[in-house]
A and B are shown apart, each in its own frame.
Chain A
Amino acid sequence: MLPSIPAPRFVTFAYRAYVALFFVYLAVPLVVVAVFAFNDSLYPSLPWKGFTLDWFFGASAPKIGLFHDRAILRGLVNSLLVAFATTAASVLVGTTTAFLFERYDFRFKGLCYMLMLAPLVIPGVILGISILAFSSQIANAADDAFGIELNALRPGLLLVALGQFSFIATIATLVISSRLRKFDRSLEEAALNLGASPFMAIVTVTLPYLAPALIGSALVAFLMSFENFNTTLMLVGSDAPLTITMFDRMKQGSTPVLNAVSVFLMLGSALLGLVSVMAQRGGRGAAE
């Protein structure tokens, strides 16, 4: 089936209807979540009891809005901390690893490339438990042998960030590699001929060229970290990131404050998406 090939009218119509239905299916759960954030009821369900912003700004029980809910605000701060750390580490290691695989030939390169991809093939839950077991055993050993309490290696935000970094670094590497591959090496050589040191050539010529990929991978890393659940669940300590706080509430059943948080997250993602589109545009402009 192609636009250039005539098809029976009902086939075309049925196909279009299917596509339309599909996009309704994609949208409905999100619309439902968003709409109930504004329902003036204690439960996120029908009947509709009128419009309210209490689930965002409400300050008194039972209508405690998102901006007055301590557990949720703390979860948000924890998630932001973890996401910033994970993003910084992933983009840094992603950049050096992209250079490693695009610029160098070395023994066992094929094997190393497979190992670099491995975190995408290992289920997130298993990444989580393996890091949990490993770090706890080190902490236990340090405690037994020297009596040192290595709190950083106990379940907590640092381990959560490490767990997320373990696979987000792969994604950053892939994104940055694919742009580095298209880079015209003669530009770097020109800089070297003009007297720049290899390091200066990379900083002044190559990295600016990579900027869109760096920004893009940073946004993806941030989003993936913020949204991560499977790995995080295994490594979380007493300080829970937002997804874990929300999960616990969701299991118990909650007021529409969760809908308000969801709307807040949707807006945040939309903002990130906008930044990413602008960064890609900027990059295209610079490349031309």
Chain B
Amino acid sequence: MNAPLNPAASGASAPREEGAAARRLSFILVFAPFALWIALVILVPQLNLFFLSLREKVGPQVYVLGPRNYTELFGESVYVLTLVRTVVMSLLATFATLIIGFPIAYYIAKIARGRARTLLFMSCLLPFWVSELVRVFGWMLILRETGLLSRLLQGLGLVDGPVELLYNDVAVMVGLIYTSMLFMVVPLVSTLDSLDDALVEAGYDLGGNGLVVLWEIVIPHAKPGIVAGAIIVFMLNLGNYLTPTLLGGKNSQWFTAQIYSQFITRFNWESGSAFGFVLLVTSSLIVWLALRASGQTLSGTIGKG
């Protein structure tokens, strides 16, 4: 990288050349850790993964370059179906998280006041201080055959014997929604917070009913928060391994589980890398489409801090 372009500010009392040299040194000192981090654990490993995915094994220790790992993936309907299924379920879970979370975010931002507001907001964050593993464990204890819900249904006389509520798509959805709720509610609260009450009141004064005000005023204002929340939640769902595996069992057929089995169980790194890349590209493509469709940018959405 290049030398800093604005040698202003620091070292005002020092002679100019010495100041510029010191500034250059300080730039190198803060640039080096960043460069090492991004190059050694992000950029080079990702490029290497891509290279691996294009490698075909033709014999022991003998490889040639070629697209076979990808053609195999897309030629096998099980893998393609797993990918489509993972994307569709992740989108559905994201949508459900938005629908469930929006009224809560609105209540916290616009209706609750003072201490109640702080308390509600904090209780929203609370479950997420606990490991995802513990949260999923809680759902397992509730949903499994000997679990609480099964007992409850038996106690109410609604079912005759124990019912297995775990290891199905609904269980996976419940887990995904629960796990990523925070990442939807927090951006929503912060955008709804900046919505001026007067705008909502004006909407009512001009004769709009609740639904019209919601659709014409509240949702357009909250759009950046909705996009930010949806993108983060979608990416978390798509890349999740823990929740689909534990709540969906062998039936979950999540794409990350395929990556795991190729990489760790079968030790087929070439094919596993191709799987990883397909997931990465799918995820980036959908995020990019969502950003485009809503006219937002990635750094504006996620980089706000």
Taking Cβ atoms with an 8 Å cutoff, the residues of A that contact B are: 1-5, 7, 11, 15, 18-19, 22-23, 25-30, 32-33, 36, 43-46, 92-93, 96-97, 99-100, 103-108, 112-127, 129-134, 137, 162-163, 165-166, 169, 174-175, 177-178, 185, 188-189, 192-193, 195, 198, 201, 223, 226-227, 229-230, 233-234, 243, 246-247, 250-251, 258-259, 262, 265-266, 269-270, 272-273
A32 touches B111 (CB 8 A): no
User: B10, B34, B126 — which one has the most chain A CB atoms within 10 A of its CB?
Assistant: B34
Give 4 nearest A-B pairs by CB, closest first.
A29-B138, A123-B239, A130-B45, A178-B305
CB-based contact A230/B138 at 8 Å: no
Q: How far does the alpha carbon of A122 sit from the alpha carbon of B131 in the complex, in Å?
A: 20
Minimal beta-carbon separation of A288 from chain B (angstroms): 20
Instruction: Kindly provide the distance from the CB of B204 to the nearest chain A CB, expressed in whole angstroms.
Output: 6
Q: Which residues of the other chain, A, contact B45 by a CB distance below 8 angstroms?
A: 130-131, 133-134
| Docked pose: A22 CA to B19 CA in angstroms | 58
Complex: A170 Cα to B197 Cα, angstroms: 35
- B62 beta carbon closer than 8 Å to chain A: no
Q: How far is the CB of A180 from chain B (nearest CB, A)?
A: 10
Say whether chain B's binding surface is mostly helix, strand, loop, or mixed.
Answer: helix
At the interface, yes or no: B75 with Cβ under 8 Å from chain A?
Answer: no
Query: Hey, which bits of chain B sit against chain A, CB under 8 A?
Result: 1-6, 9-13, 22, 26-27, 29-31, 33-34, 37-38, 41-46, 48-49, 52, 100, 103-104, 106-107, 110-111, 113, 120, 123-124, 126-127, 129-135, 137-142, 144, 146-148, 151, 178, 181, 197, 200-201, 204, 210, 235, 238-242, 246, 256, 259-260, 263-264, 269, 272-273, 276, 279-280, 283-284, 287, 298-299, 302-303, 305
Give which listed residue, A105, A117, A265, contacts B298 with CB less than 8 A. A117
With contacts A105-B4, A129-B273 taken as known, whether A22 is within 8 angstroms of B113 at the C-beta atoms is no
Q: Are B34 and A125 in contact (CB under 8 A)?
A: no
Most buried by A among B27, B273, B305: B305
Residues of B within 8 A of A227 (CB): 131-133
Q: Are A119 and B279 in contact (CB under 8 A)?
A: no
* With A22-B100, A33-B141, A189-B12 already in contact, 19 other A-B pairs whose C-beta atoms are closer than 8 Å: A1-B110, A26-B124, A26-B127, A30-B138, A93-B33, A100-B27, A116-B34, A121-B235, A133-B45, A133-B273, A163-B41, A165-B37, A201-B10, A229-B242, A230-B241, A243-B131, A246-B133, A265-B130, A273-B129
| Distance in angstroms between the alpha carbons of A186 and B27 in the assembled complex | 20
A-B contact count (CB 8 A): 266
In the bound complex, what is the Cα–Cα distance between A53 and B30 (angstroms)? 51
Chain A interface mostly helix, strand, loop or mixed? helix
By the criterion CB–CB under 8 Å, are A124 and B239 in contact? yes
Chain A's closest residue to B269 (CB) is A133
A76 to chain B, nearest CB (A): 12
* Closest-CB distance, B20 to chain A (whole angstroms): 12
**Contact in complex: A130, B48 (CB < 8 Å):** yes
Candidate in A5, A112, A125 with the most chain B CB atoms within 10 angstroms = A125
- For B34, list chain A residues within 8 Å (CB): 93, 96-97, 100, 112, 116
Q: Contacts A169-B37, A230-B240 known; A125 to B259 CB distance under 8 Å?
A: yes
Set B120, B126, B130, B256: member contacting A230, Cβ < 8 A: B256
Query: B147 — which chain A residues lie within 8 A by C-beta?
Result: 45
B304 to chain A, nearest CB (A): 8
Q: Which residue of B lies closest to A185 (CB)?
A: B9
Contact A28-B263, Cβ < 8 Å, known A1-B210, A185-B9, A262-B134: no
CB-CB under 8 A from B259, the residues of chain A are 125-126, 129
**Nearest chain A CB to B263 CB, angstrom units:** 5
| Residues of the A chain whose Cβ atoms lie less than 8 Å from the Cβ of B37 | 93, 97, 165-166, 169
By a CB distance below 8 angstroms, the chain A residues around B3 are 106
Q: Are B131 and A234 in contact (CB under 8 A)?
A: no
The answer on a CB contact under 8 Å between A115 and B303 is: no
Are A29 and B135 in contact, with the CB atoms below 8 A? yes
